Structures are given as structure tokens and as C-alpha cells.
Structure 1
């Protein structure tokens, strides 16, 4: 869920961080509730699949627990979390590339398993393969933006911009261009226009 709560004042956040640092579980849960969507959205924007994004989130929260006592600017915590999640995601991407040169074997990991007939399974597999191929042809920036939009459709442009380091006003036009490029690529790969649209 992409809900980023506004922080009232630095004193409130300082107290919350101090309580969490002292082992207060309620304070920790409140930190996660306030910033969990931001961390998840950032992780998902840079991760090809849900499992990698979950690993990135876990690593980000672990790093925060290790650094709670060192936070000097409490209201800068959202920025620190975004930066940390982005760095962790890039580290995971680099590790995955060493494992798989094409780095595409995890792209379809989130596809639901259906109990459908063999014809439907084959068609779904072909369509997913073409979608994955078309998606891989997009720029890295388009891939990140479309991942965020897909996993958090309720996110505001301000939240998407914060997760990706993009100006809020550029999100809508960029998303439109990325979707058009994806649609054109899917059509070029032979997907029916109604599936590509």
C-alpha cells in the first residue's frame, strides 16, 4: 500500500525514532506503517519480481534498525529509506545479472498459477513471453515507472516521483509514452491489438 503519512514535526519523529531505538515495538510498527508503502514502492520499482522486492524491503528495514541511533534529521527519514531501498535494489539487480546473463528468468515469477486447460495455459505462456520480451525492450526508466504503476495503482504522482526521483509533473506524460512504447513493441511482436492495448 502506497500511503506516505505526513510527519507532524521533527520532535514527534525524534521521539518515535528514540522509542524504536530503545526497543519499543509499537514505535517500530508505527515507523513501518508510516513508511512501508514508500519502501515497498521503491523496492518494486527497481525489482523485476515480488521476491526480490521483498528482499530489498527486508534489507532496507534491517539497515534502519542498525542505524536508528544515528538518524540526525528525523524528517529526512523518508529520503534515507528511498535511497537505501534503491541502493539495495541495485545491489540485488547486480547479483541477479551474475546469476543470469539475460536477467529475465524472474520476470514472470509473479504470474498466477491457474488450473485451466492446456490450450489456455499455452496461450497464456506465449502471451506472457511476448509481454516479457516487449517489456525488456523498454528503457530502464520506463520499466521502473510501469512496475510502480502496476503494483501501486493508487499511488499519487507525488509518491511515485519520490520513489523514482522524478518530478511529479513528468510522471503522467512519461507513463503515457512508456505505455505507448510497450503497446507498439507488443504489436510488433505479433500480439493481437486487443491484447496489446
Structure 2
């Protein structure tokens, strides 16, 4: 039986990553598993481009803290709406037309997203409101990866829509 060095590295780092993310997650207001998965993704991206870090435990600690900072930073700017504009009780024809236009613009933007983002967000926007388990089965991904993937996809969608929203605001 051969021992894959990558598998060994991941196995060796798992307890440290679990401990580090558990310690940092509370301050970020996120789940330790979400933070852990984001760091695993960073590590896999690094392995694909630069190979393993010279000091994997030190790299892992820095990556956890960087990901925690990123999560805290984005949480400051993400504020939930009290109600969705389309859920407003005043449903005159103008409001309905504006809500329909917003939904169309959102769907068009979602279709322009790269990779797995488009199908994931389409599933999450589905009127049938599928569960994470159903979405995972439909897309062939793990149920635990939906949350972090959703966060990355929404960040990508925000970047994609930012110029359009800014342009509309300027025009009034």
C-alpha cells in the first residue's frame, strides 16, 4: 500500500485546522465548519499552483486568521433587509413591474456567473425551495460545501452587479 504525501499532509493538518477554526469561528460569527472548508479550499488552491507550503502548520494558522478576517470584514458590510422589496404589501402595478425587473436582472446575472456558481444559485433561488440535501444530490456536491460555496458565489455576484447598481444610482 502506497502512502500519498498529499493525503498524509491533509491528515496531519486536520486536527490543527479543526482546533484553529473552532477558536476563530466564534469571533467571526460563522460556523467552524464553514471557516474550515474555506481554509481547505485555500490550501488546495495553493497546492495546485505553488505546491505545499514550507511550514504547513504555520501556513495553516496564517490562513485561518486571514480567512477569519475576511469573514469579519464581509459580515460588516452584509446587512439583512427587514423585508424583501418584492414582499412589500403594497403591490400596485408599478411595484410588481419593478419586482419582476429585479428578478429578471438577478437571474440574468446569476447565469453569467462562472463555474458551479450559476447552477448552485439557480437551485437556491428555485421557487420549490429545495433543501441543501436535495441541492447537493442534484449538483453532485457535498451538502457541507453548499454554505461556503454559496458565500463565494454571492461575493462573485456582488462584484458582478456592483457596476450595474452604481451606474443606476448615478443616473437616478
* TM-score normalized by the length of structure 1: 0.33
Q: Which has the higher relative contact order, 1 or 2, with Cα contacts under 8 A spaced 6 or more apart? A: 1
* TM-score normalized by the length of structure 2: 0.37
